[in-house]
Amino acid sequence: MEKKLVQLEISDLAFDGKSVGHLEGKVVFCDRGLPGETVLAEITRSKSRYNQAIVHEITEKCEVRIPPVCSHFDRCGGCIWQDLSYQEQLHYKQKQVVDCLERLGDLPSVRVADAIGAPEQFHYRNKMEFSFHVTSGGGFNLGLHRRGRFDDIFDLDRCYLQSELSNEIVAWVRRFVNAEGIPVYDVKRHTGFMRFLVIRQGKHTGQTMVNIVTNYGAFPGQEKLVAGLTGTFPAITTIVHNQNSRKSNIATGEIETVLYGPGYIEETINARRFRIRANSFFQTNSLQAEKLYKTALEHLEADPGDKLLDLYCGTGTIAILFSSYVSEVVGVELVADAVAMAKENALINNVDNVQFIQASVQDFLKSPYLTENPFDIVVVDPPRAGLHPKALRRTLRLSPKKLLYISCNPATFARDAKEIIAAGYDLPAVVPVDMFPHTKHIELVALFHPV
């Protein structure tokens, strides 16, 4: 049966990267199309307040459409906006922050600055996760997620987000697993071995980590793998093996074995050195992270006598970078590996006015230590879910004179900002910073002051 297609004018780009049209007074979220374009689309889902549609043809193209550089563009879930000029990407990312503040935070009067663009639009990532995936023919793919699919991986030829070296390592590991006949993990049956290949590269140092994440068990042919990888790619400075027995499909391990090198790589950010291990968070765009932290520091205007609490501190980047502008810093982080790295990072940078505590932020904020040791500045940089409600309430109880919020999700930020403002803080402006060109993601920096 022939599919019924409707003509739609695309007028906007939505928060999750979908394009927006209208049909009979209802919003239609489409998988493709740019503002100013006309498309022929098939309605695939009809809800009371909106429809979803798949675009079959773009009948009128807009001027800001550009040819994507990547051959995987049509199917990859990564760079969904590679066909939109970078200036326009920044425009829509800024607009998404405005929309979130208005619609989710009820905060139309907060000024949203122009998004700060990234110095490099390609090859900017210092970390990429590639997944192994069993195919129906009995073979396997090693690559990235198909657009809109958490359960399907296409075989990657070349990705433009990390480096050419990273592409070559992917191809080498694929050949190795094939030649050695190592079974690939089947996400439905939970059988097999190879799960992920994670590559981390210091953009300033060139140091490269290969992290193989597998199901539980010894690695078959591990000496051969190490000899082959290090012999072929001298830039590889460390290789680690992480075993993950959990059904959830995440590229971290419960048991880590260092197969080669020190088990970490180093990166420099704004003239400080940072050690990064396989399972600890580190901003994935090093060059733009430098701008992010500089922007945050400039807005903060810290006094040398200030005491600063860095919540969700990861491997200690903010704590260490800000330590020379304040008297004392305490960083709090949940992941033990990251805290160990943060302590080591403070040592190698000769920073002696910071300390790091391993705890969940919400629990740490209950501790009596805080009544005896008040902080002038609180910095929060939570994961995409934003602040835990208890963490938010307990942070506000500290009554900091400055609350700096770095967010990677404008929707949860808008929710939290509404609460912070209701508790007596002012937010004159936020600054979006684009850490991930061609993707739908946008980071932002916001400084709250008590009214």
Ligand X SMILES: C[S@@+](CC[C@H](N)C(=O)[O-])C[C@H]1O[C@@H](n2cnc3c(N)ncnc32)[C@H](O)[C@@H]1O
Q: What gap in Å lies between CA 87 and CA 116, rounded to an integer?
A: 10
Shortest CA distance to 312 belongs to which of 375, 367, 359, 279? 359
User: What mask, x for binding ligand X by CB under 6 A, covers residues 319 to 358?
Assistant: -------------xxxx--x--------------------
The smaller minimum CB distance to ligand X, of residues 8 and 387, is found at 387
In whole angstroms, the minimum distance from the beta carbon of 382 to ligand X comes to 6
Contact 120, 287 (CB under 8 A): yes
Q: What is the DSSP string of 130-163?
A: EEEEE-TTS-EEEEEEBTT-SS-EEEPS--SSS-
Q: Which stretch binds ligand X (CB under 6 A): 166-174, 206-214, 220-228, 307-315?
A: 307-315
Tell me, by CB under 6 A, how many residues bind ligand X.
20
Residue 102 per-residue DSSP state? H
Quick check: is 408 catalytic? Answer: yes
Residue nearer to ligand X on the CB measure, 94 or 286: 286
DSSP string, 275-295: EEETTS---SBHHHHHHHHHH
Residue 446 interacts with ligand X (CB under 6 A)? no
For 3, other C-beta atoms within 10 Å of its C-beta total 11
Q: Which residues 394-413 are close enough to bind ligand X by CB under 6 A?
A: 408
Cβ proximity to ligand X, 408 vs 420, nearer residue:
408
Does 37 bind ligand X (CB under 6 A)? Our answer is: no
Q: Which residues pair with 27 in a beta bridge?
A: 22, 50
Sheet with 194-201, side-by-side order of all strands = 153-155, 140-145, 127-134, 194-201, 208-214, 236-243, 255-260
361 scored as a contact of ligand X (CB under 6 A): yes
Of 38, 268, 360, 367, the one binding ligand X (CB under 6 A) is 360
Closer CB to ligand X, 215 or 323, in the complex? 323
Write phi, then psi, for 143 (nearest 5 degrees).
180, -140
383: contact with ligand X by CB under 6 A: yes
- Residue 283 interacting with ligand X (CB under 6 A): yes
User: What's the min distance (Å) between Cβ of 144 and ligand X?
Assistant: 22
Q: What is the DSSP letter of 115?
A: P
Q: Using CB under 6 A as the criterion, what x/- string covers residues 96-135 for binding ligand X?
A: ----------------------------------------
In Å, how far are 35, 259, 436 from 157, measured between CA atoms?
A: 30, 27, 21
Minimum distance, C-beta of residue 385 to ligand X, in the bound complex (Å): 8
Residues that bind ligand X (CB under 6 A): 281-283, 312-314, 317-318, 332-335, 338, 360-361, 381-383, 388, 408
Residues annotated as part of the active site: 408
